[in-house]
Structure 1
Amino acid sequence: MSIETPGLRESKKQETRQLISDHATRLFLEHGFEETTIAEIATAARVAKKTVTNYFPRKEDLALDHHEEFTASLARAVTDRADGESAVAALRREFNAALDERDPVAGFAGPDFARMIADSPTLTARLRDLHDQREEALAAALAAASPAATPAIAPRAAAALLAAAHRLLFRRIQELTLAGHPNDRIAATLAPEAAHAFDLLDASLNASPDTAQ
């Protein structure tokens, strides 16, 4: 009798999760998110319907399967920044890296995927919720790094401004994608726009050190 190691079990789980996600994405793109059912996804992936919901409790998570990375991304950039690096500088650096990598988490998902989201009220609402969650996580990270005497509103205010800039940049990538621009052109367009946004943030937030250092 063969015994599966924890590593092998985890690998199989990841393979099953990816299989379900791939079939779900294909069906969503072919038929639309609202029109595709969990049962159809299960049939395509050759798994039980319960298996799909075990891996993806919400149907939206099948489409936005990078949601955990997305909501944690800004907070992680602040938490992992180098000593002496401001929050604005860390987030600028991380966004520029995302542009260079054409990172899907930053919004580089391709025209078909962008259209699927734009055409789905459910996914549009879920994306707004994820942006809000990302802001909340960033506020918590800024609060944890702030001096004890920092006013309670300061990290939340800084997070609101920083998250709003990232929300705008994400939307710009989606807009340009839907307009038919290729990723390289989108990145070239966004680079100076992002620099302008971060310059504004740097001038405002770093003038009040407790909010962004």
Structure 2
Amino acid sequence: MTIAEIAAAARVAEMTVTNYFPRKEDLALDYHGTFTAGLARAVTCRAESESALAALRRDFLAALERHDAVAGFSGAEFARMVTDSPTLTARLRELHDLREEALARALAAETASSGGDLVPRAAAALLATAHRVLFQQVMDLTLAGRSNQEITAAVTRSAQEVFGLLEPSLGGYAVCRGRS
């Protein structure tokens, strides 16, 4: 379906559609703004004395409990549409990359890192990859026909393991020392 056809079906001007959704793929992946900003938001809004890892773990587990789309919950039909479309799959991969970049910027700011410091970028890559693989597990279990409750139980166990693997290296990284 073209943007013109979508605009006609919605009875709006084509420009209206493109103002809200600059890319056709974003019509399907309409949580892109929330998705790409989510990890950075979890870090910048974390509690005092909470590490970035702890905040991201807490935020992910809460999203699982809510069956939130940003954690991968979408329903089988939608998950199949995304996985069967190379264009949507590529856009989702790009959104994961944008989310990682936003997290890297937030970690750099939170740790007052210099522009050339690779540590925030490396930490963001590890933390975002944890979210990416858990997101994919939610999608895979959705496609396998599992209920949201079954998915939440399975992915919660996986999340504890995955975030646990990161604990020795990132458990004390970017601990919030208070806000000025």
TM interval, shorter chain, is over 0.9
Match of 1:192 among 147, 151, 157: 157
The structure number with the bigger radius of gyration is 1
Q: Is the 8 A contact 1:71 1:134 kept in 2?
A: yes
Partner AA of 1:212 in structure 2: A
Q: How many residues align?
A: 175
Please name the residue that 1:127 is paired with.
Answer: 92
Gaps of 5+ in 2: 176-180
> What is the CA-CA distance between 1:89 and the residue it aligns to?
0.5
Closer/same/farther in 2, CA of residues 149 and 61 from structure 1, 3 Å limit: closer
Please name the residue that 2:48 is paired with.
Answer: 83
Closer/same/farther in 2, CA of residues 194 and 43 from structure 1, 3 Å limit: same
What are the equivalent positions in structure 2 for 1:1-213 lying under 5 Å apart?
36-148=1-113, 152-206=117-171, 209=172, 211-213=173-175
Q: Is the 8 A contact 2:82 2:89 kept in 1?
A: yes
Q: Deviations over 1:45-87 (max 9, x none)?
A: 1112222112211101111110000000000000000111000
Range with bigger deviation, 68-77 or 145-154? 145-154
TM-score of the two chains, using structure 1 as the length reference: 0.78
> What is the CA-CA distance between 1:161 and the residue it aligns to?
0.3
Secondary structure of 2:30's aligned partner = coil
Identity %: 64
Higher-RCO chain (CA-CA 8 Å, sequence separation at least 6): 2
After superposition, the CA RMSD in angstroms is: 1.6
Partner Cα separation in structure 1 for residue 143 and residue 60 of structure 2:
21
Q: Is the 8 A contact 1:158 1:212 kept in 2?
A: no
Q: Is the 8 A contact 2:113 2:120 kept in 1?
A: no
